[in-house]
Amino acid sequence: MRLAIGIYPGFTALDAVGPYEVLSRLPDTETVFVAEERGEVRSDTGALALTADATFDEIDAADILVMPGGPGARRQLEPLGPTVRWIQKIHPTTTWTTSVCTGSLVLGAAGLLEGLEATTHWGAAEALPAFGARYTGTRVVRQGKIVTSAGVSSGIDMALTLAGWIAGDGYAQAIQLLTEYDPQPPYDAGSVEKAGPEIVRSVAHLLGRTTAADDAA
Amino acid sequence: MRLAIGIYPGFTALDAVGPYEVLSRLPDTETVFVAEERGEVRSDTGALALTADATFDEIDAADILVMPGGPGARRQLEPLGPTVRWIQKIHPTTTWTTSVCTGSLVLGAAGLLEGLEATTHWGAAEALPAFGARYTGTRVVRQGKIVTSAGVSSGIDMALTLAGWIAGDGYAQAIQLLTEYDPQPPYDAGSVEKAGPEIVRSVAHLLGRTTAADDAA
């Protein structure tokens, strides 16, 4: 089984690495990070780079496609751009086509979300309808073989859910135990509702932008 | 403020990238991945590589040190090895010295855990006493400026906790919201107690080893 994770400059690292850490542990899985060019691909902070071991041209099929999000996603939305064309090539070959965070906008730009429910980073919710998708606040959204998940860390929950569908509950639970995924966040501020308006405003400040949506989208 | 994350061949990617994603968002933070040599460093699966932008020789001080774990950690335990010597050089300069998973064994090999409580991946618990440390099953363990955390995904909880100590609760909550860290795992099998003996055995099988400890350590 091939797991292909698409990356591009300005992706958010945890969007890609969360699902990677879970799904690469599935039986007989070959994992490959894919980008327009081979080699180093810098994430949104500029301080982290992942290696792409294959180009979009070299990878023609995958069983699982994972598309991470990040501030750089907005530069991947061109209808004839390399990332969109790669998704359009790969999607017909997949068993599962998935996204994390604003990776769903890239799936949308490829025409995959027309008429479907989907999710994305909370700060980019209003960007989904442009692609014919209805935003849901659910953390993991399945529509047929397309699975979108919410912001950044949600990819871990998405991947564990997918692991259960693919390899069974017991196997997915073994991966959960292997990665000791027994979350105990010190705060309960992981959603807009839980965090409240003051923290929401401070995220915009933290990003140094007018709204978090500007960056997330 | 400088955040230095040490990496080495065979590290577990999420161990490093979880804390990175949280701590690199702290105010005025310069993040650097550091290894024996610059360039590509392969993780435990062989399918993921992070770039080290600086060598152990080039980085002489850090405000926060993060040491991830992984199957490769056991090759970093030599008393006069480059990783141990780097930790011994950096630790006196830090405000916080931290580890994820079996990264604590590397801190131990550097002599940092003598007489302290500490944690690590559950499968490597019995390796800690050799370094004079007492294993606790707690997810995040603070002893002075040394903070160790449990397996793989626990680094996210550790980093959010640390973010609160460094920048205040509100700032840490903003990072939690930014990364939409509102965990909703589909199973409750993230600890040995919750998973039960059958899943624990299947992890050993999944690893293709006699015990998970062989791999985790």
Q: What is the CATH number of domain A2-183?
A: 3.40.50.880
Residue of B5, B15, B20, B21 to mutate, interface with A, max A Cβ within 10 Å: B21
CB A141 within 8 A of CB A149: yes
Would you say residue A206 has pLDDT above 80?
no
Q: What fold is seen in the domain B2-185?
A: Rossmann fold (3.40.50)
Please compute the mean of the pLDDT values over residues B76-102 and round it to a whole number.
97
Q: Is the pTM of this model over 0.90?
A: yes
In chain B, how long is the greatest CA-to-CA distance?
Answer: 47
pLDDT in tens, B121-163: 999 999 999 999 999 989 999 999 999 999 999 999 999 999 9
Residue B167: CA count within 13 A, CB half-sphere: 23
pLDDT grade for A53, boundaries at 50, 70 and 90:
very high
pLDDT: is B34 or A210 the higher one?
B34
pLDDT in tens, A145-158: 999 999 999 999 99
Would you say residue A213 has pLDDT above 50?
no
Average pLDDT of the residues of chain A = 94
Give me the percent of chain A exceeding a pLDDT of 70: 95
Contact status of B161 with chain A (Cβ, < 8 Å): yes
Would you say residue A214 has pLDDT above 80?
no
Would you say residue B216 has pLDDT above 80?
no
Strand partners, A41: A50
The two three-digit tokens of residue A162, written as one number: 């997918």
**Closest to B191 (Cβ–Cβ): which among A45, A182, A205?**
A182
Distance (Å) from the C-alpha of residue B47 to the closest C-alpha of chain A? 6
- Which residues of B are known catalytic residues? 101
Residues of A in contact with B153 (CB under 8 A): 21, 156, 179-183
pLDDT grade for A205, boundaries at 50, 70 and 90:
confident
Q: Which residues contact B127 (CB under 8 A, 6 or more apart)?
A: B102, B105, B120, B213, B217
Residues of B in contact with A184 (CB under 8 A): 139-140, 157
pLDDT in tens, B161-213: 999 999 999 999 999 999 999 999 999 999 999 999 999 999 977 765 444 34
DSSP codes of every residue in chain B: -EEEEE--TTB-HHHHHHHHHHHTTSTT-EEEEEESSSEEEEBTTSS-EEEE-EETTT----SEEEE--SGGGGGG--TTSHHHHHHHHHGGG-SEEEEETTHHHHHHHTT--TT-EE---GGGGGGGGGGTPEE---SEEEETTEEEE-STTHHHHHHHHHHHHHH-HHHHHHHHHHTT-----SS--SSHHHH-HHHHHHHHHHHTSS-HHHHH-
Q: Considering only alpha carbons, which residue of chain A is nearest residue B215?
A: A178
Would you say residue A25 has pLDDT above 60?
yes
Would you say residue A199 has pLDDT above 80?
yes
Angle between the B13-23 and B154-167 helix axes, to the nearest 10 degrees?
A: 20
Give me the pLDDT at residue B206, please: 74
The answer to whether the Cβ–Cβ distance between B207 and A178 falls below 8 Å is: yes
Please compute the mean of the pLDDT values over residues A186-204 and round it to a whole number.
94
pLDDT in tens, B37-62: 999 999 999 999 999 999 999 999 99
Would you say residue A212 has pLDDT above 70?
no
Residue of A166, A187, A200, A201 to mutate, interface with B, max B Cβ within 10 Å: A187
d(Cα B52, Cα A137) in Å, to the nearest integer? 37
DSSP codes of every residue in A74-89: GGG--TTSHHHHHHHH
In chain A, how long is the greatest CA-to-CA distance?
Answer: 47
Give me the pLDDT at residue A216, please: 47
The two three-digit tokens of residue A174, written as one number: 């073994």
CB–CB contacts below 8 A, A to B = 239
Distance (Å) from the C-alpha of residue B211 to the closest C-alpha of chain A? 12
- In single-letter form, the type of residue at position A51 comes to T
Residues of B in contact with A171 (CB under 8 A): 202, 206
The answer to whether the Cβ–Cβ distance between A184 and B24 falls below 8 Å is: no
Please compute the mean of the pLDDT values over residues A175-189 and round it to a whole number.
97
pLDDT in tens, A108-153: 999 999 999 999 999 999 999 999 999 998 999 999 999 999 999 9
Domain boundaries of chain B, sorted by first residue: 2-185
Annotated catalytic residue: which of A3, A35, A87, A101?
A101
Strands B54-55 and B30-35: parallel
Q: B97 φ, ψ to 5°?
A: -115, 120
Residues 110-129 of B with CB under 8 A from A: 121-122
d(Cα B122, Cα B159) in Å, to the nearest integer? 19
Distance (Å) from the C-alpha of residue B213 to the closest C-alpha of chain A? 10
Distance (Å) from the C-alpha of residue B181 to the closest C-alpha of chain A? 5
pLDDT in tens, A71-106: 999 999 999 999 999 999 999 999 999 999 999 999
Q: Which residues contact A201 (CB under 8 A, 6 or more apart)?
A: none
**Closest to A206 (Cβ–Cβ): which among B25, B182, B183?**
B25
Contact status of A50 with chain B (Cβ, < 8 Å): yes
Average pLDDT of the residues of chain B = 94
